[in-house]
């Protein structure tokens, strides 16, 4: 239901130019209020979404507002490779999560 994980990314806010710790909410793995950084392994074994061990999955990431100026940041694609959070980049329309009706798309099993 409401539970989600948060990836914390160091980013520069495009509006105010400050370095911020941006929270990106995503639902994959054990959805629980876990906080992750880039390079972390996704945890499993609870309220799981998806399946462990996929080679490459892209997950819909909802960015929180800038903590300094409250600017609304774009959504992110969170790339998870072999259960490791490999990178996160702003979404540019490459993946249509709504069409699949899921919070993630498996690119390579």
Question: How does DSSP assign 50-81, residue by residue?
Answer: S-TT-SEEEEEEEEPPPTTT-PPPPPEEEEEE
Tokens of 1: 């239901």
Residue 41 or 68 having the CB closest to Zn ion:
68
Closest CA to 23 of 13, 10, 14, 32: 10
In the bound complex, what is the minimum distance in angstroms from residue 19's beta carbon to Zn ion? 10
Positions that interact with Zn ion (CB under 5 A): 13, 15-16, 66, 68-69, 71
Tokens of 62: 């909802």
3-class DSSP assignment, residue 13 = coil
CB distance 28 to 4 below 8 Å: no
In the bound complex, what is the minimum distance in angstroms from residue 74's beta carbon to Zn ion? 13
Residue 11 or 91 having the CB closest to Zn ion:
11
Residue 13 or 58 having the CB closest to Zn ion:
13
In the bound complex, what is the minimum distance in angstroms from residue 16's beta carbon to Zn ion? 3
Residue 16 or 41 having the CB closest to Zn ion:
16
In the bound complex, what is the minimum distance in angstroms from residue 34's beta carbon to Zn ion? 25
């Amino acid at each position: 239901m409401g539970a989600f994980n948060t990836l914390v990314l160091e980013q520069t806010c495009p509006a105010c130019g400050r370095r911020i710790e941006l929270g990106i909410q995503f639902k994959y793995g054990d959805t629980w209020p876990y906080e992750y950084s880039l390079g972390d392994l996704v945890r499993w074994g609870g309220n799981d979404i998806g399946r462990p061990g996929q080679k490459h999955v892209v997950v819909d990431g909802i960015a929180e507002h800038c903590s300094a100026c409250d600017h609304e940041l774009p959504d992110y694609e969170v790339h998870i490779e072999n259960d490791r959070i490999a990178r996160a980049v702003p979404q540019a329309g490459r993946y249509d999560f709504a069409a699949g009706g899921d919070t993630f798309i498996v690119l390579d099993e």
